């Protein structure tokens, strides 16, 4: 796999678990507010970490870590992700996958093979506003809808999650996002923060400053989503 980052310990990325987080390179989306620009559009600025080095690190942490989180970029772009996960699971570790939901067939294959213990899928916006939000005017939302349906009926624990960004999200948008994920187990909200490395190469979109929301507004968004999902949490 194209591994461009390793966080040796995270208490947040894998709910309820002590995990290492592995960052893969490349993404099919261009969300202007994405804070991992190097993993999306600036791969040449990253240092590749050999897969064997990562597996060696995990071997040494057997008994200390519960699992790993594979994030990105978009991990399902990695053709050999299943082979890597099999090696990780052979070490007795659980595996969480972060995905944007654009590759439902690949996601389904991993679930069907019993290779995933948790899935977190980004919900970028309403279906109507997806193209603008992901930076691709011709974006087809059908794969995203298939991934949502897959997780809603899956036996694998999962969460939907949204990064809240002005000017992309409004109260009606949040309600619509709740409707398209209705019945979800978990839905996590996180506020936008400018990392200084945004995919949009700036902190504005269409001449409007990108910013997060007040705690009161995020609480309002949470209350709206609580009508559709069993467990809605604010995370930062």
Name the band, by pLDDT with cuts 50, 70 and 90, for residue 39.
confident
Domains and CATH numbers, the chain: 3-234 (3.20.20.70)
Q: Give the residue, 108 or 12, on which the prediction is more confident.
A: 108
Name the band, by pLDDT with cuts 50, 70 and 90, for residue 44.
confident
Contact criterion met (CB below 8 Å) for 115 and 93: no
Mean pLDDT of 126-145: 96
- Of residues 15, 1, 7, the one with CA closest to residue 231: 15
Query: Is the pLDDT reported for residue 153 higher than 70?
Result: yes
* Single pTM value for the model: 0.94
Name the band, by pLDDT with cuts 50, 70 and 90, for residue 205.
low
Mean pLDDT of 28-36: 89
Q: Give the residue, 232 or 39, on which the prediction is more confident.
A: 232
Name the band, by pLDDT with cuts 50, 70 and 90, for residue 108.
very high
Name the band, by pLDDT with cuts 50, 70 and 90, for residue 45.
confident
pLDDT reported for residue 35: 81
Alpha carbons within 13 angstroms on the beta-carbon side of residue 171 total 6
> HEC states along the chain?
CCEEEEEEEECCCCCCCCEEEEEECCCCCCCCCCCCHHHHCCHHHCCCCCHHHHHHHHHHCECCECEEEEECCCHHHCCCHHHHHHHHHCCCCEEEEEECCCCHHHHHHHHHCCCCCEEEEECCCCCCCHHHHHCCCCCCCHHHHHHHHHHHCCCCCEEEEEEECECCCCHHHHHHHHHHCCCCCEEEEEECCCCCCCCCCCCEECCEECECCCHHHHHHHHHHHCCCCCEEEECC
Give dist(CA 55, CA 62) in Å, integer: 11
Contact criterion met (CB below 8 Å) for 19 and 65: yes
User: What sign results for the dihedral spanned by CA atoms 190, 196, 197, 202?
Assistant: positive
Mean pLDDT of 52-70: 96
């Amino acid at each position: 796999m194209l591994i461009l980052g390793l966080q040796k310990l995270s208490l947040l990325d894998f709910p309820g678990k002590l995990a290492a987080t592995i960052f893969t390179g490349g993404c099919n989306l261009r969300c202007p507010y994405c804070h991992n620009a190097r993993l999306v559009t600036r791969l040449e600025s990253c240092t590749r970490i050999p897969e064997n080095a990562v597996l060696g690190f995990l071997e040494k942490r057997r008994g200390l870590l519960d699992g790993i989180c594979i994030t990105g970029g978009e991990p399902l772009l990695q053709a050999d992700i299943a082979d890597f996960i099999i090696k990780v699971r052979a070490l007795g570790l659980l595996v969480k996958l972060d995905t944007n939901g654009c590759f439902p067939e690949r996601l389904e294959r991993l679930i069907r093979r019993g290779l995933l213990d948790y899935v977190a899928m980004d919900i970028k916006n309403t279906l109507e506003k997806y193209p603008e939000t992901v930076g691709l005017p011709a974006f087809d939302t059908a794969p995203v809808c298939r991934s949502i349906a897959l997780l809603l009926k899956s036996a694998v624990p999962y969460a939907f999650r949204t990064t809240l960004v002005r000017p992309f999200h409004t109260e009606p948008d949040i309600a619509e996002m709740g409707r398209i994920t209705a019945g979800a187990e978990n839905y996590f909200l996180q506020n936008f923060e400018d990392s200084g490395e945004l995919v949009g190469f700036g902190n504005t979109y269409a001449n409007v400053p990108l910013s997060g929301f007040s705690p009161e507004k995020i609480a309002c968004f949470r209350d709206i989503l609580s009508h559709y999902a069993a467990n809605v949490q604010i995370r930062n």
